[in-house]
Amino acid sequence: MAVTMKRRVYLDHNATTPLHPAVQKAITDSLGIFGNPSSFHAYGREARAKVEEARTEIADFIGATPDEVFFVGSGSEANNTVLSILPCDKQSCACKMKTAQRILTTRIEHPCILESAKCMKRRGSDVVFLDVDATGKVRMDQYEELLGQEGIGLVSIMMANNEIGTIQDIRTLARMAHEHGALFHTDAVQAVGKIPVDVRSLNVDFLTISAHKIYGPKGVGALYVKKSIPFCPLIVGGHQERGRRAGTENTLGIIGFGRAVEMRRIEMADEETRLLTLKNALRDHLAREIPNLRFNGHPAHCLPGTLNISIDGVEGEAVLLYLDLEGIAVSTGSACASGSLNPSHVLLATGLVAEQAHGSIRISLGRDNTHEDITYTVKTLKEVVRRVRQMSTAYTSGNPSHEVR
Amino acid sequence: MNDWVYTEKVKDHFMRPRNVLSDDEDFQDDGRGMVGNVKCGDQMLFAIKVDPSTDTITDCRWKTYGCASAIASTSVLSEMVKGMPIAKAYKISPKEITQELGSLPEHKIHCSVLGDKALRAAIDDYYQRTGRSDKIIKDEAKIICQCMNVTDHEIEEAVLEGARTYLELQEHTKLGTVCGQCQGEATRLLEQYIQKHFS
């Protein structure tokens, strides 16, 4: 089949990222390393050295010590692990959390937190969900009030939201949780490697990182657990990772993860300034070219590369697929793309009506994006929106649907 | 680029939708219907011109607020019905539309194929306008699963196709796969139709 080569623009970096060339090289250079890091012989020691090198790199990057960082299979696993320590009832377990079984989290967390919270609820923990304001920030008055409830054992609040990019004031949130005697976890999967994160200054007890969001490989993540904080593993049956996560370490993944973090350490600051400039250009350009747009999320406290828009009168999946046909990759909060009937829980939590969530598009920029990409995207999106609005029952030019109906 | 989410025919209709109602065009319809709800993510408008001497659809237009398969399925429907007697058009099912398209991803069929319902609403409107309200089939299918738009008629059809358990009914219709509230009523209907046809 003849395929015309079109410009291809990847604008879905919050979903996943391509491997950094340096990461590719680190992994391919290491393909011969097969020893089990737990083995005492030379093969094992070679692999162990690589794993520990990566651990140190990652620990340094977030201001932790290497023994506070352990490797897991994904950000989701790290998040599940943290939430599962609450209802632990093993007699011998170090976590000793039996008296404080209430979890406090937000309505805008990643499904891996929301679903494991619900799972904990079925196992007898109590789960309380915090609301957010129109920009996606936790409402401090409500937070203070809910922290005052009996038995809050754990607070879990994401640092930066994957859909709208809103960044929470984790330092304050963690301080308040500690004042009420609760442990504090933050899912920092979208934050680490994009904005500065220092576990000591934030003073969190647990923090989740994922490799593939920052140009590392899929299938590897890390969990920071502050020294002397109660912990019990989710995956048991081996002494790996100091008994905190059984299973032979994903050596190649960890090597790639370490190199990805190293590259972030070198490139992050400059790149994020560049991405913010690109995003602002994109935002201004879109606002000029396409009428009846709404920008979602916090205007200032937002990930540098994340832009979430609601486009009046269009359904997001149609826009996504028209853009895909033009080589542009974005994501949407529309229900049609999610396999359920409900549009984005994050956008609904910020107070958008269902049709604004159905008509939402998330653009997340990354290190390969250029000004030409932005120009091409605006031009293409403008044309796509024009076409989709033309066939829409919910849009008459100048009259967005939810005003006329 | 390799495999698209949808078949070539869906892609073709999605990229070049036929018979879309343009705001600039003065389409004098004889019947017009709208179904669905923007809140649920799908809304469909269908407008028809009818030759009164033969009760045949001569032309049609549509609009939708919906996903790619909503666009493609209505586009293909608009080609199917031109020249079709309204009595026949009245009976077009989502399955026939899907067949005409080749196929659609399973989970898309029930939530996005709304064209047949919009078309029926347009024909009803035509009957109304021409003083033949008696032709309107009042015995409209009743939606049992609100989430996936599955009607009692479709449950009956699934039973005729071999569904005998709630799980098989779900496999056939995708009913009850979102909120699950309809399980009780669906199970009751399932038993009722099995009784009716097979005992």
Residue A399 has pLDDT above 70, yes or no: no
Residues of A in contact with B18 (CB under 8 A): none
Residue A4 touches partner B, C-beta closer than 8 Å: no
Burial of residue A36 (number of CB atoms within 10 Å: 0-12, 13-18, 19+): middle
Least confident of A122-126, A401-405, B192-196: A401-405
- Cβ of B43 within 8 Å of Cβ of A394? The answer is yes
Residue A114 has pLDDT above 50, yes or no: yes
The secondary structure of B78-135 as a DSSP string is: HHHHTT-BHHHHTT--HHHHHHHHS---HHHHHHH--HHHHHHHHHHHHHHHTT-GGG
Average pLDDT, chain B: 86
Please give the DSSP secondary-structure letter assigned to residue B73.
H
Residue A5 touches partner B, C-beta closer than 8 Å: no
pLDDT tens per residue across span A299-323 = 999 999 999 999 999 999 999 999 9
Q: What percent of chain B has pLDDT over 70?
A: 93
Residue B164 has pLDDT above 70, yes or no: yes
What pLDDT shows up at residue A170? Answer: 98
- Cβ of B43 within 8 Å of Cβ of A390? The answer is no
Q: Any catalytic annotation for residue A119?
A: no
- Cβ of B67 within 8 Å of Cβ of A315? The answer is yes
| Bridge partners (DSSP) listed for residue B61 | B47
pLDDT tens per residue across span A36-67 = 999 999 999 999 999 999 999 999 999 999 99
Interface test with B, best of A6, A334, A336, A353 (most B CBs within 10 A): A336
Residue B33 touches partner A, C-beta closer than 8 Å: no
**pLDDT band, residue A87 (cuts 50/70/90):** low
Give me the residue from A317, A342, A390 closest to B68, CB to CB.
Answer: A317
Residue A90 touches partner B, C-beta closer than 8 Å: no
Catalytic site residue from B60, B111, B145, B147:
B111
Q: Which of residues 131-160 of B touch A (CB under 8 A)?
A: 147-148
- Cβ of A318 within 8 Å of Cβ of B67? The answer is yes
Residues of A in contact with B108 (CB under 8 A): 336
Give the mean model confidence (pLDDT) for residues A72-88: 88
What pLDDT shows up at residue A91? Answer: 58
**pLDDT band, residue A334 (cuts 50/70/90):** confident
pLDDT tens per residue across span A350-372 = 999 988 999 999 999 999 999 99
ipTM, 2 dp: 0.82
Give me the residue from A321, A343, A393 closest to B41, CB to CB.
Answer: A343
What pLDDT shows up at residue B40? Answer: 74
Residues of A in contact with B23 (CB under 8 A): 390, 396-397
SS3 B9: helix
Interface test with A, best of B1, B2, B3, B65 (most A CBs within 10 A): B65
What pLDDT shows up at residue A88? Answer: 67
- Cβ of B66 within 8 Å of Cβ of A318? The answer is yes
Residue B14 touches partner A, C-beta closer than 8 Å: yes
pLDDT tens per residue across span A153-189 = 899 999 999 999 999 999 999 999 999 999 999 999 9
How distant is the Cα of B197 from the closest Cα of chain A, in angstroms?
Answer: 32
Residue corresponding to tokens 């200054």: A201
| Bridge partners (DSSP) listed for residue A264 | none
Residue B189 touches partner A, C-beta closer than 8 Å: no
